[in-house]
Amino acid sequence: MILIGATARNSGKTALAVSLIEKYKKQMPIIGIKVTTIDENNRSCIHGGEGCGACSSLKGDFEISEEKGQNPNKDTAMLLAGGAEKVYWLKTINTHIDEGIEALIAQIPKDALIICESNTLRKFVNPAVFIMVRNTADSKIKKTAAEVIDQADIVFDNYFDGNFEELINEIEKRLSSDLTVRRPTK
């Protein structure tokens, strides 16, 4: 698993994920995952306001949905359009993220490279590489990022020039030379 977190919204996680998918899609199956963690005590939008209804519509402890590409502006649709074989969205109550990710990983082929967007998931899995994207246009740091930034293998300052080449080279160095993908461990 390559896990991508970010210090703020609109930091470039999805653009980086798409670049990684494009790099590795010819070498192995790629599965994209986006994780949305919802506060157990407040099922309203995690970003404030009315939001899109995704958080308030969660019925159980977690929900896994597969992206079908119907709304091309969604992050998950961009991962699919970038070449991931499948893309999943895990919406989960923060106290049930471990159960949600276990259920999701059980559906993924063992030979697949997982490219996942989440800060909070780092508390529950040990990915091959964890990248924290620091948003240079927004100096605030989300609580979820502050809780795990010290666990990042790479902290990348995104200046929004679309150039991820050096970062991808660094990620590749950290992955094993034969790209044997480890299952995330707890």
- Whether 72 is in a domain gets the answer yes
- Phi and psi for 110 in degrees, rounded to 5? -65, -20
- Whether 85 is in a domain gets the answer yes
Quick: pLDDT tens for 73-122. Answer: 899 999 999 999 999 999 999 899 999 999 999 999 999 999 999 999 99
d(CA 31, CA 179): 15
- Whether 133 is in a domain gets the answer yes
In which domain, by residue range, is 60 found?
2-174
- Spatial CA neighbour of 57 closest among 70, 68, 47, 43: 43
Residue 180, pLDDT above cutoff 80 = no
d(CA 23, CA 46): 32
* pLDDT at residue 67 in the model: 94
- CATH number, domain with residue 74: 3.40.50
d(CA 78, CA 141): 25
- Whether 42 is in a domain gets the answer yes
Say whether pTM exceeds 0.85: yes
| Inter-residue long-range contacts of 62-65, CB under 8 Å, 24+ positions, other chains counted | 62/90, 62/91, 62/92, 62/93, 62/96, 62/97, 62/99, 62/100, 62/103, 63/90, 63/91, 63/92, 64/88, 64/89, 64/90, 64/100, 64/103, 64/104, 64/107, 65/89, 65/91
Q: How many domains does the chain have?
A: 1
- Spatial CA neighbour of 88 closest among 109, 108, 113: 108
The answer to whether 4 and 116 have CB atoms below 8 angstroms apart is yes
